[in-house]
Structure 1
Amino acid sequence: MSNVVEFKDFTFKYINQLEPTLKNINLEIKKGEKVLIAGPSGSGKSTLGSCLNGIVPFSKEGGFKGTLTVKNIEPYESSIFEISNLVGTVLQDQDGQFIGLSVGEDVSFIDENNLIPQSEMIKNTEKALKEVGMENFINHSPQELSGGQKQSVSLAGIMRSPAEILLFDEPLANLDPYSGKHAMKLICDIQKKTGKTIIVIEHRIEDVLEQEFDRVIILSKGEVVANETPEELFRKDIFRQYGLREPLYIEALKYSGVNLETDSIYPISKIGTNENIKKVKTWCDSIELKEKRFKDNILSVQNLSFAYDESKSILKDVNFSVNRGEILALLGNNGAGKSTLCKVITGIEKESSGDIIFLGKSIIKNSIKRRGEKIGFVMQNPNHMITQETLLEEVQFGLKIRGVKDFTEKAEKALEICGLHEFRHWPVTSLSYGQKKRLTIAAILALEPEVLILDEPTAGQDYKRYKEFMNFIKEIANKGVGIILITHDMHLALEYANRAIVLCNGTIIANNSPSIILGEKELMEKSNLKETSLSQMAEIMGLDPEMLMNSFINFENQGGIR
């Protein structure tokens, strides 16, 4: 196969930075390959993608050495229009991608530019939206959609691109697990049908590699540090070494002493040998299982319902509670009502009926301000929260208006916790999407709430930041703060949540430990949740999924290899 992308001794430095973001990149991508580019935050992987699709240098200026060719064209010597016909892109921040006033207008944009007749254009748009399950939203404004729905529309749009290379920058960041699985299958089906080259930049390695990829390229500090098949990399500790998360089933195989050098380990369907099963079962039997119990109720939601109008009920008789020191995962597919539920709790939306009890007293008549003094809410999209120019000013803002005297000290501490202290005087506009998410979390943490609601807190974060942040959340919970995590990340729910509730069509259909919920296949399918690779591993090996998941979590909590 011929090369469609070639980097030769390529170095790139942004115009306002001292050090290069990419250093001596030598890389080839062949026609028709499926390649995953991974790396911790700041590794340069998004910049690499920006060099491929012309965002660098046409939107972000900088200097470079060496050469880069895309289908024998040097992007920086061409035009952004010409490159867009070679490389089609789905951006991580969907709000920066939409240009149409409606979903249908946005998806049909490429056909419109190519002067496709209107009748054919409408058929193409309807077909693309049907492929991603968004045909009923064709007349909706993109701004009315959830994060996952926006991502699905972006996928529909890229399907209309004539480009032979399709670049996806964190395509799973705002998708629920089931939708993410569907998206990855759709991306790979496009490749099978068209022979196009697929380049995926993504943190969620397990979800991407559930589909068979040809190669994984790992970047660290602007350099390529690994470029091999997934199976070759799984046999090593290369992912952990560079702050990335390998699939849970690979970790479980390593924990149980399976010989990765000799056994087939990718794809997951190949792991069910008798010797492997024996070793995993012996390991599970050796783990002491412990369960943490909570007593003191801090927040209680009672018979809560909400509707935008009489014909559109979003929440129906929702009942659950949160205890002091408890981490509760709120699970469900896109559109299940998770974010709406938390908006009602915080007073952003007004309930239709029901009650919200905080420390034994009803708060449904309390203002947003009064609720906000005790209940912190970090929204999914950081752009909906940020109001100040610099990072430090953003975190100081809430403290200042509350009259906190040592606001600078508290703000700097929160920024340090969230890994942003060194950037405290930077303008917010210079941050990546993931860094903006950490900034909004820092701004709420500085206010020291008694209940903390986090909407997709780890989306877009590399594994190192994910672990650091979630370990901090555990510390906060240990001090008696009740935590509610709205998350699509089944790994997070399994590893960190003490309990999980599942919301489906506005109703709670499960309230139990994460290991029980994630082990119930029918429940997962009903609620459009995706089983983890540990569940798949248990099924392949004929093991009890709850037992395997509990053994895995308890092993890690007891200081297992990390």
Structure 2
Amino acid sequence: MTDDPVIHLRDVSFRYPGASHDTLRNVNLSIERGDFVAVVGGNGSAKTTLCKTFNGLVPHYWSGEFSGTAEVCGIDTYSSTVAELSSRVGYVYQDFTNQLVRPTVRDEISFSPINFGFADHAERTAEAMEMLRITDLADRYIWQLSGGQAHLTALASVLAMRPEIIVVDEPVAELDPARALEIYQRLELLNRQHGITVVTIEHHAEFIARFARSVVLVDHGCPVWHLPVQDAVNRTAQLAEHGIPAPQIIRATQALGYPDAPRTVAAAAELLGPAPNTGTDPAVTPQRDPVVRISGTEADTVARVHDVHHSYRTVESELQTVIDGLDLTIRRGDRIALVGGNGSGKTTLLKLLAGIMVPREGEVIVDGIDTRSRSASRLSDHVAYLWQEPRQMFLRESVRSDVALFPRERKIRGWPELVERTLDKVRLTELADRDGRSLSGGQQRRATLAIGLAMRPTLLLLDEPTASLDIASRDAVIAMLDELSDTIAASVVATHDMTLVAEWADRVIVLSRGTVSADIRPRELFDRPDLLADANLVPPQITELGRAVGMHPAPLNVAEFVDRFHPSATSVHPLLTQGAH
């Protein structure tokens, strides 16, 4: 037990109603006041359930079998209420859209301070919006927001209460990389300057290493250990076993013979010094010309977007432009990463390609079909769209039934075998009879991928498929996308995951202000600071490290970095296989 625990759990166990075993098992955990704690572990390890004991949702909302004692800010959560704890513990949920209840952003952020009777509610609201750079969204309706903008609004509504504890479940899951970094910087500011205890549930090891003060590793409903961050990141092998491979800079430096784990790119660059050969490597020289891909026959074209304009009508009947004169051709074999800041139009473009929406102007042709001429349900024979919010794809009583829905209804030959094979690919066979809505966030992502794979489309569209996934699951998604090249003509992934961009994509479409600002290869994207800044993008850690030690062009993965820095090291160090493809 720490000297001043703000959270103290003693022998806490919890079982959800109807479950056959405990989700939390005899948990003993103390978190010191003013700590910045990262809770880590694989999908389904009970990280979220553990954190819901901090604000009383377990056991007051989820009224299962609870035993033991949980004290938060000196209050016994069992004899308290969720309402009482809510003024002390701010919580941004993984399914954050469900906590947005007011019509506009300003209304949402001011809702709790007004209800608690704070006279300075307007000041608190303005302060929270300014901290997260969303003042320009103040009068925007919640339903008009992108996923990332809605996430920021949920966090701002928590900050406006100035709580003693802030718990954020997957704080960067749907944010563009630049804003994700800023979120952590803001949380660090709240922690260090205002003494607020911060707890994040996180899969991104680079944020854990850089910002956390301590780390709790959870497995099968119980903390394995709670350690200072440096001790935690030094346990690279054990973290990797639980789906949290070491950050790229740690894997690179340790492969080069440095046992101490650097926690930032600057520290790693100082440790390594300049690269022995900083000249341009002709084997990886980027092509400076955009990859417009105008060559090829019409038969190679999977989809074409021509001079498309699309707007949403606001409550005031004004048109808000999202897509503005966009042109794009998708060709057979393309592995496209669709990137850009929150609100840049990525999700809208995917929905236009899927026929879920039709453009106000221009045309969208998919597999030779004008999307205006056919319903979205009939277009699903040709294109599969995996929603940003996984719960929207669960229609049946079990994951197996959801995966089987399309191939069974379309009478695809051998569909039962197809379903079982697909479930096995995404490692969900053991959970196939569970309702998809009852799964963890990462498990839900894998289930939606299975639904899309079972449709065997010509064009596969994925909206943030790796958000909320542990690294092992994310790597499994990338590997599955690799395997699909023989059965799916082209894939388009809207993503903020720059590692996915670097390791999977062969083409990057950058959206900015409703149009294509660049159509290039990943290596060139990361060599363009101006383009990265304009699109709110941040390169992978290893790319930043490569630039910091003088490599040009910058490397895309750890193995490439090590090979160029010290060629003989590539084949001898096991860390290079973590998260590599």
Q: Calculate the TM-score normalised by the size of structure 2.
A: 0.87
- SS of the counterpart of 2:422? helix
| Gap regions ≥5 residues in structure 2 | 288-292, 564-568
Give the superposition deviation at 1:549: 4.6
> Are 2:445 and 1:443 equivalent residues in the alignment?
no
Counterpart CA distance in 2 for 1:146 and 1:275 is 41
Q: 1:554 to 1:30 in 2, by over 3 A?
A: closer
Seen in structure 2, the aligned counterparts of structure 1 residues 25 and 341 have a Cα distance that, compared at 3 Å, is: same
Greater CA drift, 455-464 or 135-144: 135-144
State the Cα distance separating 1:162 from its structure 2 match: 4.4
Look up the match of 2:311: 307
In the TM superposition, residue 33 of structure 1 has moved relative to its aligned partner by 0.9
8 A Cα contact 1:490 1:532, kept in partner: yes
CA distance 1:557–1:387, change in 2 (3 Å): farther
1:438 offset after TM fit, Å? Answer: 2.6
| Paired residue secondary structure (2:53) | helix
User: Unaligned regions of 5+ residues in structure 1, if any?
Assistant: none
Shift in CA distance, 474/557, structure 1 to aligned 2, threshold 3 Å:
farther
Which segment drifts farther, 77-86 or 309-318? Answer: 309-318
Other structure's SS at 1:260 match: coil
User: Which residue of 7, 10, 23 corresponds with 2:9?
Assistant: 7
Change (3 A) 1:409 1:140: same
Other structure's SS at 2:330 match: strand
Amino acid at match of 2:206: E
Q: Structure 2 residue aligned with 1:546, among 548, 551, 554?
A: 554
Structure 1 position 492 matched with structure 2 position 500: yes
Which residue identity does 1:150 align to in structure 2? A
Q: Give 1:516 deviation, angstroms.
A: 1.7
Secondary structure class of the residue paired with 2:100: coil
Task: Single out whichever of 351-360 and 85-94 deviates more from structure 2.
Answer: 351-360
1:92 aligns with 2:94: yes
- 2:132 corresponds to which residue? 132
Native 8 Å contact 1:287 1:554 kept in 2:
no
Q: Is the 8 A contact 1:374 1:451 kept in 2?
A: yes
Code of the residue aligned with 2:513 in structure 1: it is N
The DSSP-based 3-state class of the residue aligned with 1:206 is: helix
Aligned residue runs from structure 1 range 372-383, under 5 A: 372-383=380-391
Tell me what 2:290 maps to: none
Q: 1:204 matched to which residue of 2?
A: 204
Deviation string, structure 1 residues 380-433 (Cα, Å, up to 9, x no partner)? 012333322322222222234323364443333333322222222223342233
Partner in structure 1 of residue 63 of structure 2: 61
2:490 match: 482
Q: Which residue of 2 aligns with 1:176?
A: 176
Retained in 1: the 8 A contact 2:394–2:437?
Answer: no
Report deviation, 1:6: 1.9
Which deviates more, 187-196 or 319-328? 319-328
Which residue type is aligned with residue 302 of structure 2? I
Q: Is the partner of 2:302 in helix, strand or coil?
A: strand
The answer as to 2:561 corresponding to 1:561 is: no
Q: Is the 8 A contact 2:209 2:263 kept in 1?
A: no
The one-letter code matched in structure 1 to 2:262 is I
Structure 1 residues 206-245: aligned runs within 5 Å: 206-210=206-210, 212-237=211-236, 238-245=238-245
Q: Which amino acid aligns with 1:140?
A: R
* Partners of 2:88 and 2:8 in 1: CA distance: 14
Distance 1:5 1:408, change over 3 A: same
- The CA deviation at 1:32 is 0.8
TM-score for both structures, normalised by structure 1: 0.90
Encode CA deviations 1:232-260: one digit per residue, 9 max, x unaligned: 333332321211133222222233x1312
Q: Residue 386 of structure 2 contacts residue 449 of structure 2 at CA under 8 Å; is this kept in 1? A: yes
Greater Cα offset, 535-544 or 187-196? 535-544
Matches within 5 A, 1:153-164: 153-164=153-164
The one-letter amino acid paired with 1:149 is: Q
Q: Which amino acid aligns with 2:152?
A: S
How many residues matched? 555
Greater CA drift, 129-138 or 551-560: 551-560
Q: Is the 8 A contact 2:546 2:561 kept in 1?
A: no
**In 1, Cα distance between the equivalents of 2:123 and 2:130?**
11
Give the secondary-structure state (helix, strand or coil) at the position aligned to 1:37. Answer: strand
Secondary structure, counterpart of 1:470 in structure 2: helix
CA separation in 1, counterparts of 2:400 and 2:562? Answer: 38
Residue of structure 2 equivalent to 1:462:
470
Deviation at 1:25, TM superposition (A): 2.8
* Residues 69 and 78, structure 2, Cα contact 8 Å, conserved in 1: no
Identity %, equivalent residues: 27
Report the Cα offset of residue 476 of structure 1.
0.6
Equivalence for 1:506:
514
The answer to whether the 8 A contact 1:524-1:530 is kept is yes
* 1:368 paired to 2:368: no
Which deviates more, 197-206 or 98-107? 98-107
Larger deviation: 502-511 or 380-389? 380-389
For each residue in 1:428-465, what CA deviation from the matched residue of structure 2 results, as whole angstroms up to 9, or x when unmatched? 34223333333222222111101100000111111121
CA RMSD, aligned part only?
A: 3.1
**Offset at residue 139 of structure 1 (A):** 3.2
Change (3 A) 1:384 1:143: farther
Asked if the contact 1:180/1:207 (under 8 Å) is kept, the reply is no
Residues 391, 436 of structure 2: 8 Å contact kept: no
Distance 1:359 1:368, change over 3 A: closer
TM-fit CA distance, 1:55:
0.8
Further displaced range: 543-552 or 381-390: 543-552
SS at match of 1:546: coil
Q: CA offset at residue 78 of structure 1?
A: 1.7
Q: 1:408 to 1:352 in 2, by over 3 A?
A: same
Q: Is the 8 A contact 2:38 2:216 kept in 1?
A: yes
Q: Which amino acid aligns with 1:124?
A: R
Determine the structure 2 residue equivalent to 1:246.
246
TM-superposed deviation, 1:357: 4.1
Aligned-partner Cα distance in 2 for 1:392–1:480 = 22
